[in-house]
Chain A
Amino acid sequence: MNTIILKTASKYLLPLLLLFSIFVLLRGHYLPGGGFVGGLIAAIAFVLHAFANGLPHTQRLMRIHPGFLMPFGLAISAVSGMFPMLLNQPFMTGVWKKDPVPVIGSLGSALFFDIGVYLVVIGASLTILFTISETR
């Protein structure tokens, strides 16, 4: 697609949508949202950019292949799940910081788990979409 409107819009939409996805990710614990939806929104943001500017452009912008996000995400989730075990609690027990942190709210292992989910979802969906659109 080669429309100047979409191209221009996507330039601003990408950071906005990414910010929005992080917002959705962080509010997930109290209000509708969460890592899964957040990840999907971020993936849509990149796909939109790719539609407007062409896939190679988006890939250059991303610097790394989205597939690399998957192992990072899995590692973050796994570590946050295992972290309670260091404190002699069962796997996946929620561990929370006592005082809330400004902007984010209360900080706990569940949040890091959700960040891992977020990254895996971005990585997996973009890998699938990019691979299919690249294949000739």
Chain B
Amino acid sequence: MDSAVEKLPILFLCILLYIIVLAIPSVRKNGLRSKLSPLIPIGAFLFFLLGFDGNKQTAVLWSHDLLPTQLSFTIDGLGRLFALLITGIGSLIFIYANGYMKGAKYTQRLQSFLLLFMLAMLGVVLSDDLIMLFIFWELTSVSSFFLIGFKNEDEASRKSALQAISITGLGGLVMLGGFIILGEIAGTYAISEMHNPETIATITSHAWFTPMLIFILLGAFTKSAQFPFHFWLPGAMKAPTPVSAYLHSATMVKAGVYLLARFSPILGDTPVWTIALISFGGVTMIYAAFQALFRTDMKSILAYTTVSALGIMVFLLGMQSSDAIAAVSLFILVHALYKAAFFMLAGTIDHETGTRDISKLSGLKTAMMPLFVIGILAAWSNGGVPPSVGFLGKDLIYESTLAYPGLNYLLTGVSVGTNIMLFAAGLLVGWMPFRGKKISHKNLQLPAPSLWVPAAVLAVLGMLFGLFPSLINDSLINPVANSISGQPEDIHLKLWHGLNTVLYLSLLTMGLGFLTYLVIRPGAGMLGFIESAERFGPRRILHGISHGFIGLSDWITKILQNGKLRIYLLVILGFLVLILGYVVLAETTFTIDIDMLTNITIYEVIIVGILFISVFLTLFSGSRLAAVAAMGVVGYTLCIIFVFYSAPDLAMTQFTIDTLTVILFVLVLYRLPRFIRLDFSPRHILDGLVAIAVGALMTIISLEVLQRMPEREISDYYALNAYVLAKGKNVVNVILVDFRGADTMIEIVVLSIAAIGVYSLLKLRLRKNEKME
């Protein structure tokens, strides 16, 4: 196999390399590195355009027997269309961004994040493995977080970035759950291996099918901003416009649509899928289109129309008919073309005039003729006016809703209503700022080509593909439809279908859309009304949940991290007793066999007597120093017991350690206030009980270990081989420095870390200006 798909890792590595190149800070604004950055997406675009036809190619690059997942890429019609959109629109966005960010700070940083995002998106649409797809999916969430919050000095910006990542991130995690269930049911994590009829039957008839599907749909719906998760998308408009244009036309939000399209042949033919997609998509498309009509900020209008368009795509994917699949295949392209053009237009107007408020803008036509043309062309395609490619798309939508059994009137009504409002919204952005009297914007002139040529390319393409549908019919759209339906489709895009219902509906849409545009006058009053619906909607609920969550974690932290050493010890030891105690009690049978014991000598009696006395002194002495000294005596008696049982090494170490411990205690206690014995409180009883429990537990465990001694082989091996292999007669030391030398190495590292920790805790104090509050 020497297919182009195997060269994908090279492409990914190149992109990654340039991300690093861009991430190295530069002294100059708009240096050579950022000027050259469009070359990367352009190169990638050419790679996907020339390297692949619509046929499916899969390559497993790395796999391991022990792992169910593998590193594998697949590219088919759907993946190719998305890859082309991601890199193609990406190229234009990079050129645009160079113009838009001219003279601004951190251009390189923006481009580096954009490239990272592009890489992640390519990974999402080209991965064949579920887990790999998930990883890239989350990477898009993370990189879009940085992009949306790019203006990091602005609080609203940071807030909406956080909102976006929490919604899409949560959805992603739920989706991971769905993926794992899917992978376990199917017995494979490779999407391309799920396509055969038996596997599909296994999946769809499984008891866990419905929860799994709901999990995956939640991931897709949050990413693609479906109602009621849509509000993060309008919030994300705080990003610089090149970012919005990229994220919301062709990439980020389409990831959810991509996911649904990818799983459509596997999971699509089920009632849950159909009901969920049609209802959520339908509600989203009409609700968001209605919201869009009353906005005054151009980007806000575009945001809501994007949500609405995503709703249309989800809605179409739910219908599963050939027409609907053809419609969605085309609409993905149509929407990307005109929406990216619109966003760039809005950004350029904002860049030149300083405002995006359509109620303040008018008469820009004279100064910015090319922008006006772009606006008209984009609105044309958006409104589905012939001969644009949008017209083809809308035709197919109406055809599929009309043919839907049972609900055809309702679904057609909803889509016509949505399209009427979208038509009007398109005019609001594409036409309204240009018509009318010229408002004095000082020195208004045509911006640099990089600010309008990219948008012009997209707008012209939208018209070109409409006039000559054969340009994209066989090469792009048909393969996409094949991958969405899972079987060969036969699509013939054409402008003229004859005088039929669809045409009348189109005419009706245009007429009513234009009327709506004439009637609607966006302004502060309507804006306030329409925003109140958003404010009390799902966003409020989510805010409540997140605040509750913060409160909860605050509460838990205050309980666990209360700053009292005593409580920490109590919690740790109590937990230890509970866990170990349970195991010990459950698995141990207690029998005491007195005959097993060796004879008790007089020395042992004396030592144990001393031990008991010193324990008693430690517990009940009135002075700390005496208690510490008594503790030392406890340690020394233990040493002597070690000596009795011929463990001199242990005894020596214990002896020195005890000496140092007593010294340490004295040093610390020296600084404490005088010891006062207060009343005997319940807390003392609790402390005592925990102490007794820990002691008893440790005793039982050590006795138990002696009884079981599972592997004598190891100690025998050490004893036999200490001299032979390691030339040492002291087995303990040989174990420490030779047999288990690596352990000792790590132990001395830990010891050093502990010493550094003590030093830095006690010695390094914050300077005054470093202190917080």
Where the two chains meet, the residues of A that have a C-beta atom closer than 8 Å to any C-beta of B are 24, 28-37, 40-41, 43-44, 47, 67, 70-71, 73-74, 77-78, 81, 91-92, 94, 96, 106, 108, 110, 113-114, 116-117, 120-121, 123-125, 127-129, 131-135
Instruction: Give the contacting residue for A34; candidates B737, B742, B756; CB below 8 A.
Output: B737
- What would be 10 A-B contacts, judged by CB atoms less than 8 Å apart? A29-B730, A34-B732, A67-B759, A70-B756, A74-B748, A94-B726, A110-B737, A124-B752, A127-B758, A134-B763
Q: Are B660 and A117 in contact (CB under 8 A)?
A: no
Contact flag A132-B755 (CB < 8 Å), given A30-B729, A110-B728, A110-B738: no
* Of B322-330, B529-537, B557-565, B661-669, the one touching chain A: B661-669
Judged by a CB distance under 8 angstroms, whether B63 is at the interface is no
Contact flag A114-B737 (CB < 8 Å), given A124-B751, A129-B667, A131-B763: yes
- A66 to B728 alpha-carbon distance, docked (Å): 30
Judged by a CB distance under 8 angstroms, whether B653 is at the interface is yes
Q: Are A70 and B755 in contact (CB under 8 A)?
A: yes
Point out the residues of chain A lying under 8 angstroms from B613, CB to CB.
Answer: none
Point out the residues of chain B lying under 8 angstroms from A117, CB to CB.
Answer: 736-737, 744, 748
Among residues 706 to 736 in chain B, which have CB atoms less than 8 Å away from a CB atom of chain A?
A: 725-730, 732-734, 736
- A31 to B407 alpha-carbon distance, docked (Å): 92
- A127 to B652 alpha-carbon distance, docked (Å): 22
Judged by a CB distance under 8 angstroms, whether B656 is at the interface is yes
Closest chain-B Cβ to A65's Cβ sits at a distance in Å of 9
* Closest A residue to B652 using CB positions: A37
- A34 to B732 alpha-carbon distance, docked (Å): 9
Judged by a CB distance under 8 angstroms, whether B745 is at the interface is yes
- A134 to B725 alpha-carbon distance, docked (Å): 46
Q: Which of B744, B754, B759: most chain A CB closer than 10 A?
A: B744
Contact flag A44-B730 (CB < 8 Å), given A67-B755, A77-B748: no
Contact flag A94-B727 (CB < 8 Å), given A33-B652, A37-B656, A124-B752: yes
Contact flag A37-B649 (CB < 8 Å), given A73-B748, A121-B748: yes
Closest chain-B Cβ to A7's Cβ sits at a distance in Å of 18
* Closest B residue to A136 using CB positions: B671
Closest chain-B Cβ to A20's Cβ sits at a distance in Å of 11
Point out the residues of chain B lying under 8 angstroms from A31, CB to CB.
Answer: 729-730
Question: Closest 8 A-B residue pairs measured CB to CB?
Answer: A40-B656, A124-B755, A32-B648, A127-B755, A120-B748, A34-B733, A29-B728, A30-B729
Point out the residues of chain A lying under 8 angstroms from B751, CB to CB.
Answer: 120-121, 124
Point out the residues of chain B lying under 8 angstroms from A41, CB to CB.
Answer: 656
Instruction: Give the contacting residue for A37; candidates B653, B667, B749; CB below 8 A.
Output: B653
Point out the residues of chain B lying under 8 angstroms from A123, CB to CB.
Answer: 752, 755
Closest chain-B Cβ to A3's Cβ sits at a distance in Å of 16
Instruction: Give the contacting residue for B727; candidates A35, A43, A67, A96; CB below 8 A.
Output: A96
Contact flag A133-B667 (CB < 8 Å), given A29-B729, A92-B741, A106-B727: yes
Additional A-B contact list (20), CB under 8 Å, known A29-B727, A37-B653, A94-B738: A29-B733, A31-B729, A32-B649, A33-B733, A35-B736, A36-B653, A44-B660, A47-B660, A78-B745, A92-B742, A94-B727, A113-B744, A114-B733, A123-B752, A124-B748, A127-B756, A127-B759, A129-B664, A131-B758, A132-B758
Instruction: Give the contacting residue for A40; candidates B653, B736, B741, B755; CB below 8 A.
Output: B653
- A106 to B726 alpha-carbon distance, docked (Å): 11
Judged by a CB distance under 8 angstroms, whether B67 is at the interface is no
Q: Which of B660, B729, B732: most chain A CB closer than 10 A?
A: B660
* Closest A residue to B741 using CB positions: A92
Q: Are A120 and B752 in contact (CB under 8 A)?
A: yes
Judged by a CB distance under 8 angstroms, whether B199 is at the interface is no
- A123 to B726 alpha-carbon distance, docked (Å): 27
- A29 to B732 alpha-carbon distance, docked (Å): 9
Point out the residues of chain B lying under 8 angstroms from A40, CB to CB.
Answer: 653, 656-657, 660
Q: Are A116 and B748 in contact (CB under 8 A)?
A: yes
* Closest B residue to A117 using CB positions: B748
Point out the residues of chain A lying under 8 angstroms from B592, CB to CB.
Answer: none
Q: Are B745 and A34 in contact (CB under 8 A)?
A: no
Q: Are B762 and A135 in contact (CB under 8 A)?
A: yes
Closest chain-B Cβ to A54's Cβ sits at a distance in Å of 14
Point out the residues of chain B lying under 8 angstroms from A132, CB to CB.
Answer: 664, 667-668, 758, 762
* Closest B residue to A77 using CB positions: B745
- A125 to B667 alpha-carbon distance, docked (Å): 13
* Closest A residue to B663 using CB positions: A47
- A81 to B742 alpha-carbon distance, docked (Å): 8
- A98 to B90 alpha-carbon distance, docked (Å): 69
Contact flag A35-B653 (CB < 8 Å), given A30-B730, A124-B755: no
Q: Are A28 and B730 in contact (CB under 8 A)?
A: yes
Contact flag A34-B749 (CB < 8 Å), given A70-B755, A124-B755, A131-B758: no
- A31 to B732 alpha-carbon distance, docked (Å): 9
- A34 to B728 alpha-carbon distance, docked (Å): 12
Point out the residues of chain A lying under 8 angstroms from B738, CB to CB.
Answer: 92, 94, 110
Q: Are B762 and A32 in contact (CB under 8 A)?
A: no
Instruction: Give the contacting residue for B763; candidates A37, A71, A129, A135; CB below 8 A.
Output: A135
Closest chain-A Cβ to B759's Cβ sits at a distance in Å of 5
Q: Are B652 and A128 in contact (CB under 8 A)?
A: no
Closest chain-B Cβ to A74's Cβ sits at a distance in Å of 6
Q: Are B763 and A32 in contact (CB under 8 A)?
A: no
- A126 to B727 alpha-carbon distance, docked (Å): 32
Q: Are A43 and B734 in contact (CB under 8 A)?
A: no
Q: Are B652 and A32 in contact (CB under 8 A)?
A: yes
Closest chain-B Cβ to A13's Cβ sits at a distance in Å of 14
Point out the residues of chain A lying under 8 angstroms from B664, CB to CB.
Answer: 128-129, 132
* Closest A residue to B726 using CB positions: A94
Point out the residues of chain A lying under 8 angstroms from B752, CB to CB.
Answer: 70-71, 74, 120, 123-124
* Closest A residue to B729 using CB positions: A30
Point out the residues of chain B lying under 8 angstroms from A43, CB to CB.
Answer: 660
Judged by a CB distance under 8 angstroms, whether B57 is at the interface is no
Judged by a CB distance under 8 angstroms, whether B621 is at the interface is no
Judged by a CB distance under 8 angstroms, whether B321 is at the interface is no
Instruction: Give the contacting residue for A35; candidates B657, B737, B754; CB below 8 A.
Output: B737
Point out the residues of chain A lying under 8 angstroms from B166, CB to CB.
Answer: none
- A124 to B726 alpha-carbon distance, docked (Å): 28
Judged by a CB distance under 8 angstroms, whether B473 is at the interface is no
Closest chain-A Cβ to B454's Cβ sits at a distance in Å of 57
- A33 to B119 alpha-carbon distance, docked (Å): 59
- A108 to B751 alpha-carbon distance, docked (Å): 24
Judged by a CB distance under 8 angstroms, whether B450 is at the interface is no
Judged by a CB distance under 8 angstroms, whether B659 is at the interface is yes
- A78 to B749 alpha-carbon distance, docked (Å): 10
- A81 to B736 alpha-carbon distance, docked (Å): 13
Point out the residues of chain A lying under 8 angstroms from B657, CB to CB.
Answer: 40
* Closest A residue to B757 using CB positions: A128
Closest chain-B Cβ to A90's Cβ sits at a distance in Å of 10
Point out the residues of chain A lying under 8 angstroms from B667, CB to CB.
Answer: 129, 132-133
Point out the residues of chain B lying under 8 angstroms from A120, CB to CB.
Answer: 748, 751-752
Point out the residues of chain B lying under 8 angstroms from A131, CB to CB.
Answer: 758-759, 762-763
Point out the residues of chain B lying under 8 angstroms from A127, CB to CB.
Answer: 755-756, 758-759
Closest chain-B Cβ to A25's Cβ sits at a distance in Å of 10
Q: Which of B656, B732, B759: most chain A CB closer than 10 A?
A: B656
Closest chain-A Cβ to B644's Cβ sits at a distance in Å of 15
Q: Are A110 and B726 in contact (CB under 8 A)?
A: yes
- A130 to B727 alpha-carbon distance, docked (Å): 38
Point out the residues of chain B lying under 8 angstroms from A128, CB to CB.
Answer: 664, 754-755, 758-759
Closest chain-B Cβ to A17's Cβ sits at a distance in Å of 11
Point out the residues of chain B lying under 8 angstroms from A36, CB to CB.
Answer: 653, 736
